[in-house]
């Protein structure tokens, strides 16, 4: 009998070992928590396997246990997971660490204030590498992948490739901080960021984290609306690469390849990427072309040291579409043509555009991370960029136009009484800086970090001849620096590569010629307390910024350099959070900024005399939030209030066909051939609520939704100064624009959306998301624009091959319903009477920009 029992036990164990079972799990990125789509799951020693879906989930058949599953994903460290028991059919969440130094291994994150570095929460959304590779394709701005983020509005305008803006909680890009591997990239002169100069980010970005409101950044920057952290790819520790191709609407095509040497001798590695793109443009007369290059070298000199050096750039040129009224978009039958562009025509039988943007901004970035000991660490980023390029435009008399509104270049050049050329407005700069940070555990529950932020910027601005239109030269009339004037006869190419060194010397420049030197010094620190369910922090920064303006036309040589203007500033933030139960977290943050004015406000026009009215802007912000995270559903709710006093706002005034500009007061003013702009002094108040929900209905369906409701207003009267900013520095008008609670324009004050992600089969997933925008006002807040909704569609299919190779196919359709809508208005002409003067309730004399109608792209990427 005993022998019988022993035989039965052996038989049972044998059956258990040979019994096939299905094992499931979910694969995510360790840092961001984002699912890894298309990760390979193999049963070692067997042919069975599978891939993860759009939620990172997988399901594979294991013929017998014990067994070992090998989990691998390109750019990440592979993991081997043992399956020892037949009862273990769900492995839960499997977290893969990136193989790139940019996040953990060779590359550095020490200076990057990613939210996971601090327990006290902020309102945050993270977009992982898998989502970027799926959606950041074709003719879109990289930030457009964040359109489902609450209180984030991305304006994809019809101005040309890379043209657009980002608004966060109603604040434009000049008041939102953008960081690239910890490096500030907002313009030192005016705080602006031009996405066309960063078009290569779609190829080299690894993670984007959007911190709305006060954010987690410790730098001495004023993140009034929020902070966007772009974490770039860097040196992969695993050997491999990829090649890819994308095609899209309007003859868009892009090809590229990348290769990684892998970690050699456990010490160093190299990664390279190159891509090129071209297209005819969505709007008429907006062709573009460009390249992206990326070289990164990682080095691990010792176990506690990680160093990475990278060089990246995205030289490009594209013709532009802007200017003109809504009336100019009417075709011969009176229908709206949103693609109309008045900036081009035919010259000598060939296409020619009056407006071309061209730029090349190579960036060098050196990161160093040093784990000093178990309690302290040091990190640094040193960077430099040398931007070269500008934009073309007409100079002199207005050109002759055809009956359809295009430029008749031939007739313009043939008119002996008309003086007209095409000039380039050049904006070159040299920018160098560094951020260093020291962190230390100060006790059982305290953590501290301290550091500094140093920047040096030199900008050079002038005009040069691009096309003489058949003339012998352009006469530059006398100025204090050149009393006798001179004639400029040489033409300079509007080409991104030629702009690197082929630009006009000082004796051949026209229109204007000035420069500035800006230096910035900041120190920052933070102390955080963290114990069980409670955390709190206090953070502060001090900064000083100096300005010297150099005028080479309208000042004599002895007076070319202005006096040095130094402005101090500070910010202080504090917050706390409390975890009520396992799934519930409450938090609150408050902060106060005193921000220095931008250089363009300190010195207006072509003068070295600073504006005495300019003072620091004062910002006070408060927010509270609630987070609920359960196994299948999560929800975030935030309330905020941001008061912004002493705001200085630069408003360029567009001259209409009659030579008139419309002031902020609503009155018309004669431009008299001058380029005018307003300097507005005003107070703003932004309050609002935002929520987003994600619900995993089952293993195949996931629903997500978001809603943002804001009240963004200019409080009280506005003091306005009107300047002539081109021919000579002159304040031509000063007035008070009366009004109470004028709406802040540019972004919808009510926005929402919902969508569903469907895993059709493990390798195939689809997503649809519908956005709705309402309460959108003109940039000066005068009129309300029509509301609109957009539907985006995404499809992804991953085909696994042998030896961990795979092919991924992605398809995207943006604005799938082809909605025609106005994305921006730069004037506020009231509706008035007469149906013939309106479109969707907007007067035809308003200067508007349309959003893009339906666009699409299809990509194929092979990983090896």
pLDDT tens digits for 403-428? 989 999 999 999 998 999 999 999 99
Rounded to whole angstroms, how far apart are CA atoms 434 and 214? 22
Q: What local confidence, expressed as pLDDT, does residue 503 receive?
A: 94
3-state SS class at 131: helix
Identify which of 564-568, 664-668, 725-729 has the greatest average pLDDT: 564-568
Looking up residue 58, the CATH number of its domain turns out to be 2.60.40.1120
Residue 272 CB burial class (10 angstroms; 0-12, 13-18, ≥19): middle
Residue located via tokens 């006060």: 214
Domain boundary among 65, 96, 127: 96
Find, among 294, 364, 103, 292, the residue nearest to 209 by Cα: 103
3-state SS class at 191: coil
pLDDT tens digits for 126-154? 887 778 888 888 888 888 888 889 999 98
42: Cα separation from own chain's centroid: 37
Q: Flag whether 59 is in a domain.
A: yes
860: pLDDT confidence band, cut at 50, 70 and 90?
very high
315's tokens: 């030289």
Least confident of 280-289, 536-545, 833-842: 833-842
Find, among 832, 843, 785, the residue nearest to 155 by Cα: 785
φ/ψ (deg, to 5) at 269:
-165, 165
32: pLDDT confidence band, cut at 50, 70 and 90?
low
Q: Flag whether 193 is in a domain.
A: no
34: pLDDT confidence band, cut at 50, 70 and 90?
low
Q: Flag whether 189 is in a domain.
A: no
Residue 252 CB burial class (10 angstroms; 0-12, 13-18, ≥19): buried
Q: What local confidence, expressed as pLDDT, does residue 729 receive?
A: 55
353: Cα separation from own chain's centroid: 27
**DSSP conformation letters of 563-601:** PPEEEEEEEEEEEEEEEEETTEEEEEEEEEEEEPPPHHH
Rounded to whole angstroms, how far apart are CA atoms 43 and 48? 6
Given phi > 0 = left and psi -120 to 50 = alpha, else beta, which region is 815? left
pLDDT of 15 strictly over 50: no
Q: Flag whether 201 is in a domain.
A: no
236: pLDDT confidence band, cut at 50, 70 and 90?
low
Q: What local confidence, expressed as pLDDT, does residue 5 receive?
A: 42
Q: Flag whether 527 is in a domain.
A: yes
66 cis-preceded (ω within 30 degrees of 0): yes
Q: Flag whether 580 is in a domain.
A: yes
**Bridge partners (DSSP) listed for residue 752:** 707, 772
Q: Flag whether 525 is in a domain.
A: yes
pLDDT tens digits for 642-656? 998 888 777 778 777
Rounded to whole angstroms, how far apart are CA atoms 346 and 410? 7
Task: With residue 17 as reference, give the H or E element that holds it.
Answer: helix 2-18
Straight-line distance from the first to the last Cα atom of the chain, in angstroms, rounded to the nearest whole number: 59
105: pLDDT confidence band, cut at 50, 70 and 90?
very low
Average pLDDT over the chain reads: 85
Q: What local confidence, expressed as pLDDT, does residue 170 receive?
A: 93
Burial 520-536 (b: 16+ CB within 10 A, else e): bebebbbebbbeeeebb
663: pLDDT confidence band, cut at 50, 70 and 90?
confident
Sheet (strand 40-43) strand order: 49-51, 40-43, 67-72, 79-83
Q: What local confidence, expressed as pLDDT, does residue 352 receive?
A: 97
Domain boundary among 61, 96, 131: 96
Looking up residue 677, the CATH number of its domain turns out to be 2.40.170.20
Q: What local confidence, expressed as pLDDT, does residue 637 receive?
A: 95
φ/ψ (deg, to 5) at 610:
-70, 155
Number of domains the chain is built from: 2
Domain boundary among 58, 78, 96: 96
Q: What local confidence, expressed as pLDDT, does residue 766 receive?
A: 94
Average pLDDT estimate for 114-118? 53
Domain that holds residue 606: 240-863
Rounded to whole angstroms, how far apart are CA atoms 101 and 236? 7
659: pLDDT confidence band, cut at 50, 70 and 90?
confident
**Bridge partners (DSSP) listed for residue 305:** 302, 370
Q: What local confidence, expressed as pLDDT, does residue 661 receive?
A: 84
**Bridge partners (DSSP) listed for residue 254:** 246, 277
Q: Flag whether 793 is in a domain.
A: yes
Residue 72 CB burial class (10 angstroms; 0-12, 13-18, ≥19): middle
User: What is residue 305's DSSP assignment?
Assistant: E
Rounded to whole angstroms, how far apart are CA atoms 59 and 746? 46
pLDDT tens digits for 702-757? 999 999 999 999 888 888 888 876 544 577 888 888 766 789 999 999 999 999 99
Average pLDDT estimate for 786-795? 96
Cβ neighbors of 328 (< 8 A, separation 6 or more) are 340, 342, 405
pLDDT of 100 strictly over 50: no
Find, among 275, 328, 271, the residue nearest to 295 by Cα: 271
Q: What local confidence, expressed as pLDDT, does residue 106 receive?
A: 32
Using CA of residue 832, residue 835, residue 840, residue 844, what is the dihedral sign?
negative
């Amino acid at each position: 009998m005993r022998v019988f029992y022993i035989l039965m036990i052996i038989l049972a164990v044998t059956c258990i070992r040979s019994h096939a079972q299905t094992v499931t799990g979910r694969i995510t990125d360790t840092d961001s928590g984002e699912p890894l789509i298309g990760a390979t799951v193999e049963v070692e020693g067997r042919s069975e396997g599978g891939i993860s879906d759009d939620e990172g989930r997988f399901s594979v058949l294991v013929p017998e246990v014990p067994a070992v599953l090998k989990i691998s994903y390109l750019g990440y460290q592979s993991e081997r997971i043992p399956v020892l028991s037949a009862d273990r059919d769900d492995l839960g969440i499997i977290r893969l660490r990136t193989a790139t130094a940019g996040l953990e291994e060779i590359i550095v994150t020490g200076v990057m204030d990613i939210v996971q570095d601090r327990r006290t929460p902020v309102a945050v959304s993270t977009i992982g590498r898998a989502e970027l590779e799926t959606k950041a394709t074709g003719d879109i701005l990289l930030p457009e992948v964040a359109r489902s983020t609450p209180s984030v509005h991305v304006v994809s305008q019809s101005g040309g490739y890379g043209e657009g803006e980002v608004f966060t909680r109603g604040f434009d890009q000049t008041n939102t901080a953008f960081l690239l591997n910890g490096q500030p990239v907002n313009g030192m002169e005016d705080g602006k960021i031009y996405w066309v100069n960063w078009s290569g980010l779609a190829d080299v970005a690894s993670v984007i984290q959007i911190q709305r409101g006060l954010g987690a950044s410790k730098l001495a920057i004023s993140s009034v609306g929020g902070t966007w952290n772009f974490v770039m790819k860097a040196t992969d520790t695993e050997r491999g690469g990829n090649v890819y191709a994308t095609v899209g609407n309007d003859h868009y095509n892009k090809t590229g390849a990348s290769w990684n040497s892998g970690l050699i001798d456990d010490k160093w590695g190299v990664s390279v990427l190159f891509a090129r793109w071209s297209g005819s443009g969505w709007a008429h007369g907006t062709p573009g072309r460009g390249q992206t290059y990326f070289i990164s070298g990682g080095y691990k000199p010792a176990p506690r040291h990680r160093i990475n050096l990278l060089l990246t750039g995205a030289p490009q040129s594209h013709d532009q579409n802007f200017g003109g009224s809504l009336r100019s978009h009417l075709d011969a039958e009176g229908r709206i043509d949103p693609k109309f562009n008045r900036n081009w025509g035919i010259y000598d039988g060939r296409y020619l555009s009056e407006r071309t943007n061209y730029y090349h901004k190579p960036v060098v970035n050196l990161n160093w991370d040093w784990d000093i000991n178990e309690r302290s660490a040091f990190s640094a980023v040193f960077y430099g960029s040398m931007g070269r390029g500008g934009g073309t435009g007409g100079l002199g008399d207005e050109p002759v136009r055809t009956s359809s509104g295009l430029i008749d270049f031939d007739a313009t050049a043939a008119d002996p009484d008309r003086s007209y050329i095409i000039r380039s407005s050049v904006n070159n700069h040299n920018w160098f800086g560094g951020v260093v940070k020291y962190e230390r555990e100060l006790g059982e529950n305290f953590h501290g970090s301290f550091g500094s932020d140093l920047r040096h910027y030199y900008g050079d601005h002038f005009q040069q001849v691009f096309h003489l239109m058949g003339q012998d030269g352009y006469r530059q009339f006398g100025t204090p620096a050149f009393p006798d004037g001179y004639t400029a006869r040489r033409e300079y190419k509007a080409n991104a590569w030629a702009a690197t060194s082929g630009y006009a010397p000082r004796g051949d420049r026209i229109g204007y010629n000035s420069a500035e030197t800006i230096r910035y010094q900041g120190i920052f620190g933070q102390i955080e307390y963290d114990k069980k369910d409670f955390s709190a922090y206090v953070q502060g920064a001090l900064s000083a910024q100096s300005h010297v303006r150099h005028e080479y036309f309208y000042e004599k040589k002895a007076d070319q350099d202005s006096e040095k203007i130094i402005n101090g500033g500070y910010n202080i933030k504090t917050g706390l959070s409390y975890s009520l139960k396992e799934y519930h977290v409450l938090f609150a943050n408050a902060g106060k900024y005193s921000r220095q004015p931008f250089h363009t406000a300190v010195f207006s026009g072509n003068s070295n005399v600073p504006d005495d009215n300019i003072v620091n802007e004062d910002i006070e912000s408060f927010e509270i939030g609630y987070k609920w995270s359960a196994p299948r559903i999560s929800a975030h709710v935030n309330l905020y209030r941001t008061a912004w006093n002493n705001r200085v706002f630069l408003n360029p005034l567009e001259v209409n066909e009659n030579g008139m500009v419309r002031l902020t007061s609503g009155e018309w003013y004669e431009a008299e051939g001058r380029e005018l702009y307003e300097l507005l002094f005003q107070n703003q108040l932004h309050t609002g609520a935002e929520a987003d929900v994600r619900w995993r209905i089952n293993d195949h369906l996931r629903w997500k939704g978001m809603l943002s409701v804001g009240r963004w207003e200019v409080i009280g009267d506005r003091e306005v100064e009107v300047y002539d900013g081109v021919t000579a520095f002159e304040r031509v008008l000063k007035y008070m624009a009366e009004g109470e609670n004028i709406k802040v324009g540019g972004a919808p004050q009510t926005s929402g959306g919902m969508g569903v992600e469907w895993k059709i089969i493990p390798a195939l997933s689809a997503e649809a998301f519908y956005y709705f925008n309402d309460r959108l006002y003109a940039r000066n807040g005068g009129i309300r624009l029509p509301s609109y909704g957009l539907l985006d569609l995404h499809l992804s299919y991953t085909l696994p091959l042998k030896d961990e190779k795979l092919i991924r196919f992605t398809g995207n359709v943006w604005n799938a319903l082809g909605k025609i809508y106005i994305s921006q208005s730069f004037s506020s002409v009231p509706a008035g009477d007469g149906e013939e003067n309106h479109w969707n309730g907007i007067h035809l004399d308003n200067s508007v920009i349309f959003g893009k109608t339906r666009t699409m792209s299809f990509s194929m990427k092979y990983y090896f």
